[in-house]
Amino acid sequence: MRNAFIEELVSAARNGKNVALVVGDLGYKVIEPFADEFPHLFFNSGIAEQNMMGLAAGMASEGVHVFVYSIANFPTFRCAEQIRNDVDYHGHKVTIVTVGGGLSYGNLGYSHHAIQDYALMRLMPNMLIASPGDSFEARACMRYLIENPRPSYLRLGKSGERELHAGIPHISPGEWLPVIVNMRKSALITTGATLQLANELISKGAIDSHDLYSLPLWGMNEKNIQQKYINQFDQIVTCEDHLLDGGFGSWFLETAAKYNLGANKIQLIGLDSKVCGLVGGQSVLNKDGGLDIESIARVICRQ
């Protein structure tokens, strides 16, 4: 996904879009295509995330669509107040990009586990979360954000995601993307890299009762759109590589409660907090947290 991100950014710059890339001294072997071709649009803030985000907001106030790039929790929690006050409150066109959502950096320990970021970023009233499930969705997210610059958070996996769409889909904030659809009355809706796991769950027949959808663009302002989807299904299962508390599924529950759509038909799949502090590969920790095919199938079939 990160290669898709940088390729789309290069393309935008080549097409004359007023973009810039600010990194927090990270992005080795990722950002070079942009930095080499557009050195005047590339800035390394050093390991100084508060200044990184503040200066991005300053540049955006002068009309630049700034992409701020780092990994895991560094471009979010470290400079959360700058995001809240300087970017989101002012409505500046800053896209905050993190590589390594979820437990992508599982071996590097808790500091690098991005499993609370949805909870933080969805609290920002103007923030659009872009959490693609494969590289096609990543490209779609980038194209949408470049055409519609605004406070936004682009959460990318690290590497190795399979392409699960036939091509680059058309996406719109709050709109579900069909992935495996057979007109069932139950849906599995996922955001981010867990699309890979969810796709495997259904395509391998671990469950056969749910259609699969992806929701790559969502946030506080996209709750009202969910009404039509929640009404369409008898049961909805959400899936995310994020703690169960405060993330994508919680956002769904709030929506169902707000519009009186039957919160009891929403079932959440996510990471149990017992993974906090564990160290290991992504798939190992995901399993520990309840995010593997067998565990998910067991939970869904129990309903």
Partner 1 sequence: MKSSTSTLAMARAIRKNALQMVHRAKASHIGSALSIADIMAVLYGKVMHHDPFNPLSQTRDRFILSKGHACVAVYATLAETGYISHEDLLTYGQDYSWLMNHISHKVSGVEFSSGSLGHGLPFGVGKALTAKCRRENWITYVLLGDGEMDEGSNWEALMFASHHRLSNLVAVIDCNNLQSLTTVTETLSLEPLAEKLSAFGCDVSEIDGHDHSSLADALMHRCPNKPRAIIARTIKGKGVSFMENQVEWHYKAPTDEQLAIALQELGMKE
> Where on the chain is the footprint of partner 1 (CB under 8 A)?
40, 43, 45-46, 48, 50-51, 53-64, 81-82, 85-86, 89-90
Calculate the CA dihedral of residues 294, 296, 302, 303 and round it to 10 degrees. Answer: -160
**Which residue lies nearer to partner 1 by CB, 58 or 280?**
58
**Which residue lies nearer to partner 1 by CB, 54 or 290?**
54
- The least distance separating partner 1 from the CB of residue 39, rounded to whole angstroms, comes to 11
- The least distance separating partner 1 from the CB of residue 86, rounded to whole angstroms, comes to 6
DSSP strand pairing (128-130 vs 217-218):
antiparallel
Q: And the tokens for 231?
A: 């009404």
**Which residue lies nearer to partner 1 by CB, 60 or 195?**
60
DSSP secondary-structure letter at 245? T
- The least distance separating partner 1 from the CB of residue 109, rounded to whole angstroms, comes to 24
**Which residue lies nearer to partner 1 by CB, 6 or 52?**
52
Q: And the tokens for 192?
A: 């981010």
Exposed/middle/buried for residue 172 (C-beta within 10 Å: 0-12, 13-18, 19+): middle
Name the CA radius of gyration of the chain, rounded.
Answer: 18
- The least distance separating partner 1 from the CB of residue 46, rounded to whole angstroms, comes to 7
**Count of residues making up the chain:** 303
- The least distance separating partner 1 from the CB of residue 128, rounded to whole angstroms, comes to 21
**Which residue lies nearer to partner 1 by CB, 56 or 198?**
56
**Which residue lies nearer to partner 1 by CB, 60 or 237?**
60
Q: And the tokens for 15?
A: 């097409």
Contact 210, 266 (CB under 8 A): no
- The least distance separating partner 1 from the CB of residue 5, rounded to whole angstroms, comes to 22
- The least distance separating partner 1 from the CB of residue 70, rounded to whole angstroms, comes to 14
**Which residue lies nearer to partner 1 by CB, 9 or 198?**
9
CA dist 122 to 115, 116, 149, 156, 288, Å? 13, 10, 17, 16, 26
3-class state of residue 155 by DSSP: strand
